[in-house]
Structure 1
Amino acid sequence: MMLELNGMLLLVVLLALLFDFSNGWHDSANAIATVVSTRVVSPLVAVIMAGILNIAGAFMSTAVAKMVGSGIVDPSTVTQQMVASALAGAILWNLFTLLLGLPTSSSHALIGGMVGAAVTHGGWDTVKLSGLRSVLEAMVLSPFFGFAIGLSLMVLISWMFFRVPRGIATKIFKRLQLLSACFMAFSHGANDAQKAMGIITLALLSAGQIQSHDVPGWVIGACAVAMGLGTAAGGWRIVRTLGMGIVKLEPVHGFAAETGAAAVLMVTAHIGLPVSTTHTITSSVMGVGAIKRLSAVRWGVTRRILYAWLFTLPGAAILASVIYLVGTRLG
């Protein structure tokens, strides 16, 4: 890595890797909550498995990284302080919601942080509204697709296994759920690890260290490892909320929820849209729970999650804006 990392650029790279770590830590529940709550594997095996597959998934594509790095804010207006403030705001929001045990979106936190810092730095002219609109539309639609696919899979499975004894079906789906959990962990790495890659690439481009939006190999590797280590650390309070607080899950529900959510994430990662893995898997869990009856979903817990979703974008934006202003004053 023949780069001249000055103090501020080095800070941005470190903050981006810290964000990736906090993203993995915060979002480990996305991959392992259902497989742990249904007792298919032990928590230790689950987090190790998810961490390894997160790293593997991060190497699948860089389409999301390019969208984050060039599609939301105008690269020509970017400063290192602006990027650092965006990352710091997103990290603080992740830590705040992690302490509350709420599965909020690290993607929303990062996008909110970027917009908050960019607007504070140079006004709304620094934001690419068309790109931001595309990202927000995908973030809104992905939970609906997660819910619909999870519900549809449960309907299909119920029809196919209608005459199969419950004990045999449970054994089958315990094995299948292990595969779906691996699929979910891989797709999480494929989508979420790229967001920090895009931020680092944007910072390197604005500092003149690289000449295009192509993500350097060392950035891919560093972000993949940071995400994997964060996932292996495990955010256990969120695991409990997602795996046991929304609806009582069995292996068949875990399989349907993970498969539905992972399918949505793989498609969006291929297209290059940074959607929320948290929103997608949570809505998919709601979808598979709703097939029992609507009262099977614990809507009190769900309301708390929805409130956290609504406040994530503005909350992270405000934090990033304050951090930028404080940094400007101190500088």
Structure 2
Amino acid sequence: MLSEEDTLFPPDNRAKLLQQCAMELLVLTAEAAMVIIIMRRQKEAEIVAARERRRMKRQRRVWVKQWLLRRVRFGQYEQLMVELGAEDQSSFKNVLRMEPDILREILQCVSHRIQKKDTFFRKALEPGLKLAITLRYLATGNSYKSLQYSFRVAHNTICKFIPEICQAIINEYTAEVMICPTTPEAWKEVAKGFKTAWNFPHCVGAIDGKHIAIRKPIQGVSYYYNYKGFFSTVLLAVVDADYKFLYVDIGANGAGSGAGIFNDTDLKRALEDGRIGLPPPEPLPNDNQPIGYFLVGDDAFALKPWMMKPLPPRNMTVGQRIYNYRLSRVRRVVENA
């Protein structure tokens, strides 16, 4: 006995109907998804267009603010620094951390790298002004806005030329002032300085790392968060007895330790391979046992034939205490540099 439903929809027709409904539902779903995607893209396009319209509407009200144009009459570089250079050179040094003669010498060396051409719209900033702003920024860490009001140069201009001036100084002076010794005779001169100044023979450099605070990066946050509780990059340096830098490694992430950063440097590989040119071992004064030449570092560095570090502070003899005392004096050179 067939039911009314079986009479209206026989089994064969019912299967075909279900299949057709499923296909139609699938098509409708795909169409709905496509409509959603199209609507979303249209919405994004409208947002972009609205942003572009707002950007086009934001026209400059003035080409340059009038108080910036009075820089020659009231600017710090044109007025105050001229007075300090002529009347009070100690205060001039306090402003830029150097004497006027040294500033002029640096300006003479880098001016050809930082000089810009005048245009029909405006005159280029003087190289001396840009150098003074850069040195003041490096000396104090003042914000661009603060430098804007003292030197009467727009902050969005300062933020563009400070990296250029820094790179120009690096390109000009790296080969001249930062020379890492490569011969036994040059290393012996460095060791002579440590023996004379700090009574620590056979030392060819003090090594340490310095955390340079930076803003929180957008990516890789954990790589730059150091154990001191702020974001930083690391400056690893080797310094001689006169506080002069012999070698630097700049830009390592702040989460790394000084020893870990040192392990990835060319200096470490050169020391291990013997390519650095250290003198052969020689006896210390009033001794006959040959001792190699070495760097000095803190507890974070591994003890090596070419790396000396403090002894553990427990149960030390008088001689060991004297050794730790003299080594800590030598390490202060790099910390103060």
Q: Which TM-score band (shorter chain)?
A: under 0.3
Q: Which has the higher contact order (CA 8 A, sep 6+)?
A: 1
More strand by share: 2
More helix by share: 1
TM-score under structure 2 normalisation? 0.21
